[in-house]
């Protein structure tokens, strides 16, 4: 299990964006977009996962905004992006929304590093064959995600037969039952389903409030899309440099998915497995995710190349410098929350015991990853509730 890291509560409070935009997408969807950080800085675009929102990215945003322009948006039906009708849910809709965000938030001809967590990673895969991804993506980072067989290989209900696991997970995750208030029991359930056993209590609480704020109808409709997900063919068409991160304790998208992706991607720059970390990698291990983003920006966007001590372009697990949430240059610098959180993720923070695999060529489709460590190698307001995380209730 990974060494437990404790963060102050301020690390999970969404910072205030520099500006907010909307973008029109298919099915009449108006997407809520937030921009953080200085104009003219290298661009990073963040796509969150199922039942989450821009608030999920708070630790990552706080760390990157000193020297990056961070663009993030609410997937349709999540956060401040309204839900659509029953026909507005599907992988093509995810790709449509990403294309709309890139068109609205990036300057003509501008490229960015694109980062997707869970359903956000599936969003990047869904858009793989589109010209806009080739034109706009300098590189991508896929966190805790997969391309197919999600419910058959999930381990939330560890039944011995794939068919039984599929049916049980479909009934559980696709339920329209209300989640209710965030109670101690609700936190324990969320930790079990989505996080590692050593997850920081503040991270658990923040994720519980974000997930419980997702409308139950939206939650169920997207769950049914994910139940039948098949993006294997599109993963093979993602022809930009791509890095993959997964936690070994991920019950929703176990490491088998990451290994399969690493083998299928045409230009996989590395696979990192984080011991003891669950599904919520950007919140549970923000230092590793931040380091990987910075490495991709340096190598693939700004042309600065790897930092001293990193191993070529294949080593993304443990040396990317990570400025802590609310660190120097943050858009809300000077606030008590920001200054308190600044010490959380010091520069060159690392995840103990992470394992990095060099290229897709070295990862057979069903092979396990050796546990060797390789040296060298995180918003926005969600319709502000009283805690900065919970939006007004809606269905």
* pLDDT tens digits for range 6-19: 666 678 889 999 99
Residues 6+ away with beta carbon under 8 Å from 61: 14, 15, 36, 46, 70, 72, 325, 378, 379, 380
State the pTM of this model: 0.80
Token readout for 336 is: 């008590």
Strand partners, 4: none
Which of 156, 198, 153, 202 lies closest to 353, judged by CA? 198
Q: How many CB atoms lie within 10 A of CB 177?
A: 9
pLDDT digits (tens, 9 = 90+) for 240-256: 999 999 999 999 999 99
Is residue 231 scored above 80 in pLDDT? yes
Confidence of residue 311 (pLDDT cuts 50, 70, 90): very low
Residues 6+ away with beta carbon under 8 Å from 362: none
pLDDT the model gives residue 325: 34
pLDDT digits (tens, 9 = 90+) for 119-160: 999 999 999 999 999 999 999 999 999 999 999 999 999 898
Which of 231, 219, 378, 189 lies closest to 292, judged by CA? 378
pLDDT the model gives residue 241: 98
Q: How many CB atoms lie within 10 A of CB 345?
A: 27
């Amino acid at each position: 299990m990974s060494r437990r890291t404790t963060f102050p509560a301020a690390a999970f409070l969404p910072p205030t964006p520099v500006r907010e935009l909307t973008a029109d997408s298919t099915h009449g969807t108006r997407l809520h977009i937030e921009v953080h950080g200085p104009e003219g800085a290298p661009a990073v675009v963040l796509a969150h996962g199922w039942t989450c929102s821009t608030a999920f990215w708070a630790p990552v945003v706080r760390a990157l905004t000193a020297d990056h322009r961070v663009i993030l948006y609410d997937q349709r039906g999540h956060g401040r992006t309204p839900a659509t009708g029953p026909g507005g849910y599907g992988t093509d809709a995810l790709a449509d929304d990403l294309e709309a965000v890139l068109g609205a938030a990036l300057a003509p001809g501008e490229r960015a590093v694109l980062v997707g967590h869970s359903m956000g990673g599936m969003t990047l895969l869904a858009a793989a064959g589109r010209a806009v991804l080739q034109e706009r993506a300098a590189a991508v980072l896929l966190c805790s995600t997969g391309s197919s067989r999600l419910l058959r290989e999930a381990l939330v209900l560890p039944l011995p037969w794939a068919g039984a696991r599929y049916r049980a997970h479909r009934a559980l995750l696709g339920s329209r039952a209300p989640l209710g208030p965030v109670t101690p029991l609700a936190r324990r359930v969320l930790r079990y389903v989505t996080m590692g056993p050593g997850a920081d209590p503040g991270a658990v609480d923040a994720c519980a409030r974000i997930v419980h704020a997702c409308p139950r109808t939206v939650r169920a409709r997207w769950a049914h899309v994910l139940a039948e997900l098949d993006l294997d063919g599109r993963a093979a068409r993602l022809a930009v440099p791509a890095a993959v991160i997964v936690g070994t304790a991920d019950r929703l998208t176990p490491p088998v998915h990451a290994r399969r992706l690493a083998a299928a991607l045409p230009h996989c720059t590395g696979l990192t497995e984080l011991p003891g970390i669950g599904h919520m990698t950007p919140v549970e291990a923000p230092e590793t995710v931040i380091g990987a983003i910075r490495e991709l920006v340096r190598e693939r966007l700004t042309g600065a190349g790897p930092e001293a001590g990193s191993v070529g372009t294949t080593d993304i697990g443990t040396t990317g410098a990570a400025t802590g949430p609310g660190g120097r240059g943050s858009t809300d610098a000077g606030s008590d929350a920001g200054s308190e959180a600044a010490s959380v993720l010091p520069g060159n923070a690392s995840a103990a015991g992470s394992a990095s695999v060099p290229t897709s060529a070295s990862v057979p489709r069903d092979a396990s990853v050796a546990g060797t460590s390789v040296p060298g190698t995180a918003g926005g307001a969600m319709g502000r509730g009283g805690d900065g995380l919970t939006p007004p209730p809606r269905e």
